[in-house]
Amino acid sequence: MTAASRARLLAELGRYDQAEAELRLGLLARPGDPDLLALLSAVLRLAGRPDDALAAADAAIQAGPGSAGAHAERAENLIALSRTREAVEAASEAARLRPGEPEVHRVLARAHAAGREFGRARTAARQALAFDPRSVPSLLTLAEVERIAGRRRAAARATRAALAEDPEHPGGRWLIALLNAERLHVGAAMRGLRELAADHPDRLRAEALAWPILGVLAGLRRGLAVGLPLTLAVRLATPWWSLAGLFSQGIALVVAVVVVSFTARVLLPAGRMPWRCLALLPRRAVVTELVAAGVSVPLLLWYGLSAAWPPLALAALAVGVLIISGTLRVRVTSLNPR
């Protein structure tokens, strides 16, 4: 078995450190091998190290400028780094070098989708499907393009077509769960994720199973970041508008009721699983967000019923803590994807 074969097997098992070690040993014997360097780039990317992976892809291209696989891998890393224009250029070069390879068209589709060029992304995905209309990877690429574009029905159709070919495919099952989550079909999404986690325990991070809590917190940050300043702004207009105080109270009550309704709609059907996964998340940040959100809503209700300034001021403070803590947590998570 070659170093590349062993590395692929280890990567499939999620043992990325060992796969990297195998490839680096192989490169000692065959320095500058573009295929080994491209495979090293893929392993580093899967391990959550896109900067290192991009360096390996660049080395692969330098060693073999005509390697379509190296250009495609470079595109994948540029997508991960949100450098979408460069990703499209790299993926287009891969497609030019190997136009008969479905995978390079799938990479091009992902690059266009990352750049919000959905028409071109669909064209590339369908080009990949033209080689094999029943290809599960190509169907799922089209599904992901449609999901990002906001066309959830089209995404669901493509995903079901993929699962008809391979009912146990983890990518298809994940996408169905994700689509259910986006449509707030919380119970169905959690069932799908629990089953997927049982069959593929190494595939899902804690964030995936805790998405109802994280999703609620994200929704509360957005909603309260709009609702509370609006409430405050209308209240400050009282000297010029006699009804401003009453309208401000009404806004506060509406915001509080909407927030509570949204939270209940998501968390009640989710069950206990998301809460069990909190232990695997940055707990201090999440707990801070939960406390800040839990405090801000009763304070808004208090203000809406009493028109007193102190609860509105305290609610503003709590929402500020919620937004800052959530922003810092998301940033830390993005810097530490594993």
Average pLDDT, the chain: 89
Mean pLDDT of 46-70: 92
Give how far Cα 107 sits from Cα of 89, 90, 113, 293, Å. 11, 9, 10, 40
Mean pLDDT of 185-196: 88
* pLDDT score for 336: 42
CA separation for the pair 162, 285 (Å, rounded): 38
CA separation for the pair 74, 89 (Å, rounded): 10
> What is the DSSP secondary-structure string of 300-326?
HHHHHHH--HHHHHHHHHHHHHHHHHH
CA separation for the pair 299, 51 (Å, rounded): 45
**Closest of 288, 202, 232, 298 to residue 259, by C-alpha:** 298
Q: Where are the alpha helices (DSSP H) in the chain?
A: 3-12, 16-29, 34-46, 50-63, 68-80, 84-97, 102-114, 118-131, 136-148, 152-165, 170-182, 186-199, 206-209, 211-236, 244-270, 273-276, 283-306, 309-335
Work out the pLDDT band at 164, boundaries 50, 70, 90.
very high
**Residue pLDDT, tens place only, 206-257:** 677 888 888 888 888 889 999 999 999 999 998 888 888 899 999 999 999 9
Mean pLDDT of 151-167: 95
Q: What are the chain's domains?
A: 1-96 (1.25.40.10), 212-335 (no CATH)
**Residue pLDDT, tens place only, 86-145:** 999 999 999 999 999 999 999 999 999 999 999 999 999 999 999 999 999 999 999 999
